[in-house]
């Protein structure tokens, strides 16, 4: 008998709250049973994320309730009675609304006040509500940009950031001590509402969030043509209402929404990977942009914390810009506008992740802005905003971004915000267009001034228990020591596993290569993937692409 078989049988007997789970359990073969029960769904600084379905290694009402009980125990032990308040939001994914109600019912059963949005709302709206309502914690039910079979459960601290490593460890200890069936206190969502333990977040909170986004403008009275033609896709997620409301209130009324991707739909029928980083997710938007001859295409992921764009090239085709390229443009635009109008704060700070293009540091330095590098994950950028706030310098933060299409230009939330990104990109685009400059022309100006740099991301999927072991062996192989990666010598290896530069320990390796090139490798914290980030500095794009191809080919051997 396998170790997981008794637990499987127990689920067959007791998992009666969701008919979908009962049917799935009965239909499981040996392989499906092993994958669903060989471990508990991992809980970390990103909370939970996994395939929706039956089992301890799946997202379902029981694993969500167990995690919620662990969070409730943590809040009860860590916060005084008057501060025991949790905000909840959810996206368009399958069962997101159900999981959010289950979580709210667990918190309420433990005597914790719960405030939940009346409808699905983006991740940044959850971060905002935590701070606006003075909550001890927040929960966002989402799997961000993952395929439709996934869902997840992000946990936020009282500061509006995703939880720290220390908090995650403390919550995990609570979760591990709980029996998934017998250790959870729950009441029905409607009962919690009737007893006043659960209430809805007032619309004024959402309105205040929109006003904060609009306040990020750096035009400072400069005129722009707001009639630019914009095509927008929420990729069947949460962005439709907040993005279009913000843009329209800011005067951008020439907006066409991609009809097939307009309404929330957790099946994501037109884009299996609802991620604006991936061209396939942007194809319908590009077609609509071609149809209406739009100036700009915007797309946000399902929980509306990532934003991708495409702009019209000189030949009339639409070119997708990378997260790094958009980030460079925004950083330069914000710095230039603040400098020109005398609005740059004292000792200004820009924050980026270690895998984000190093060229951003040269731009920031040109404007006298300090760059702070942090680990991968926007929570670390949020933590830096909190650090500045504690120093009485919250206004010193002018922006932060990560290569994976995450941006934030203010301190009103502590996570990446695609509503803010969409607004700022539209203002930047209109500013340059009004002056006869395209974003592609502006990007080439930056490369001419600071040097050409190419950053690429390569992802490798490793599913199941065998995949998990394979990822561990790959990291061990990289740690064995490299003298070169393709044509580039390794000058230095940075192992963040033991903590470097004051950053928390993280399973990340960065290889500093000759000629200002680098490679970063790490397992994903939220998906069964390994990621390799390649950064190449060269004389021009053609040379950079040739070098990148050689480096990528050398890395390929490790992942096969």
Catalytic residues: 144
Strands (E), 160-283: 198-200, 230-233, 255-257
Strands (E), 348-417: 349-353, 370-374, 397-402, 406-408
Q: How far apart are CA 31 and CA 208, in angstroms?
A: 50
Phi then psi for 290, rounded to 5 degrees? Answer: -65, -40
Q: How many residues does the chain have?
A: 560
DSSP-assigned beta bridge partners for residue 198? 114
Are 64 and 99 contacting, i.e. CB atoms less than 8 angstroms apart? yes
Q: Strand, helix or coil at 34?
A: helix
Q: Strand, helix or coil at 501?
A: coil
β-pairing verdict for 307-312 and 318-321 = antiparallel
**DSSP symbols for 82-144:** GG-EEEEEE-SSTTHHHHHHHHHHHHHHTT-EEEE-SS---HHHHHHHHHHTT-SEEEEE--T
Q: Can you read off the two tokens belonging to residue 82?
A: 């008057």
Residue 7 belongs to what H/E stretch? helix 5-14
Q: What's the Cα-to-Cα distance from 343 to each of 74, 127, 390, 398, rounded to whole Å? A: 42, 27, 22, 10
Q: What is the 3-state secondary structure (H, E, C) of 240-267?
A: HHHHHHHHHHCCCCCEEECHHHCCCCCC
Q: How far apart are CA 320 and CA 55, in angstroms?
A: 40
Quote helix, strand, coil % in the chain, to nearest 5.
Answer: 40, 20, 35
Q: Strand, helix or coil at 488?
A: strand
Q: How far apart are CA 50 and CA 559, in angstroms?
A: 22
Strands (E), 375-487: 397-402, 406-408, 452-461, 484-485
Phi then psi for 59, rounded to 5 degrees? Answer: -85, 115
């Amino acid at each position: 008998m396998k170790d997981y078989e008794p637990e499987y049988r127990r689920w067959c007997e007791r998992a009666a709250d969701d008919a979908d789970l009962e049917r799935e359990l009965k239909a499981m073969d040996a392989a499906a049973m092993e994958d669903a029960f060989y471990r508990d769904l991992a809980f970390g600084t990103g909370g939970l994320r996994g395939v929706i379905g039956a089992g301890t290694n799946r997202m379902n009402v029981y694993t969500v309730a167990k995690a919620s009980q662990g969070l409730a125990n943590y809040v009860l032990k860590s916060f005084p009675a008057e501060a025991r308040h949790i905000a909840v939001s959810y996206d368009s994914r399958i069962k997101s609304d159900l999981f959010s109600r289950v979580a709210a019912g667990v918190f309420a059963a433990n005597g914790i006040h719960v405030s939940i949005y009346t409808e699905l709302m983006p991740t940044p709206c959850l971060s905002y509500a935590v701070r606006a309502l003075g909550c001890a914690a927040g929960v966002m039910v989402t799997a961000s940009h993952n395929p439709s079979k996934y869902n997840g459960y992000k946990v936020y601290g009282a500061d509006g950031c995703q939880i720290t490593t220390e908090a995650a460890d403390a919550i995990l200890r609570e979760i591990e001590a709980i029996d998934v069936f017998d250790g959870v206190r729950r009441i029905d969502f409607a009962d919690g509402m009737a007893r006043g333990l659960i209430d809805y977040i007032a619309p004024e909170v959402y309105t205040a969030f929109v006003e904060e986004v609009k306040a990020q403008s750096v035009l400072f009275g400069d005129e722009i043509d707001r009639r630019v033609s914009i095509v927008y896709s929420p990729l069947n997620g949460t962005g439709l209402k907040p993005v279009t409301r913000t843009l329209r209130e800011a005067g951008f009324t020439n907006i066409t929404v991609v009809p097939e991707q307009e309404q929330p739909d957790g099946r994501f029928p037109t884009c299996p990977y609802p991620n604006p980083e991936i061209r396939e997710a942007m194809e319908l938007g590009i077609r609509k942009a071609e149809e209406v001859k739009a100036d700009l295409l915007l797309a946000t992921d399902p929980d509306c914390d990532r934003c991708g764009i495409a702009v019209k090239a000189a030949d009339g085709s639409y070119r997708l810009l990378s997260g790094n390229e958009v980030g460079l443009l925004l950083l330069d635009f914000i710095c230039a506008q603040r400098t020109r109008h005398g609005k740059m704060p004292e000792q200004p700070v820009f924050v980026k992740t270690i895998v984000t293009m190093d060229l951003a540091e040269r731009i920031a330095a040109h404007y006298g802005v300090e760059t702070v590098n942090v680990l991968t994950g926007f929570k670390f950028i949020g933590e830096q905003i909190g650090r500045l706030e504690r120093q009485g310098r919250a206004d010193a933060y002018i922006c932060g971004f990560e290569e994976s299409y995450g941006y934030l230009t203010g301190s009103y939330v502590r996570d990446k915000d695609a509503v803010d990104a969409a607004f700022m990109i539209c203002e930047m685009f209109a500013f340059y267009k009004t002056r006869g400059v395209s974003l592609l022309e502006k990007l080439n100006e930056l490369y001419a001034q600071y040097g050409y740099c190419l950053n690429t991301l390569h992802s490798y999927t490793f599913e199941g228990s065998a995949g998990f072991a394979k990822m561990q062996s790959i990291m061990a192989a990289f740690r064995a020591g490299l003298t070169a990666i393709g044509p580039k010598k390794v000058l230095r290896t940075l192992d963040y596993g033991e903590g470097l530069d004051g950053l928390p320990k993280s399973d990340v390796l960065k290889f500093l290569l000759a000629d200002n090139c680098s490679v970063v490798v790490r397992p994903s914290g939220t998906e069964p993937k390994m990621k390799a980030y390649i950064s190449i500095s060269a004389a021009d794009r053609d040379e950079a692409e040739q070098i990148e191809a050689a480096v990528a080919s050398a890395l390929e051997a490790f992942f096969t």
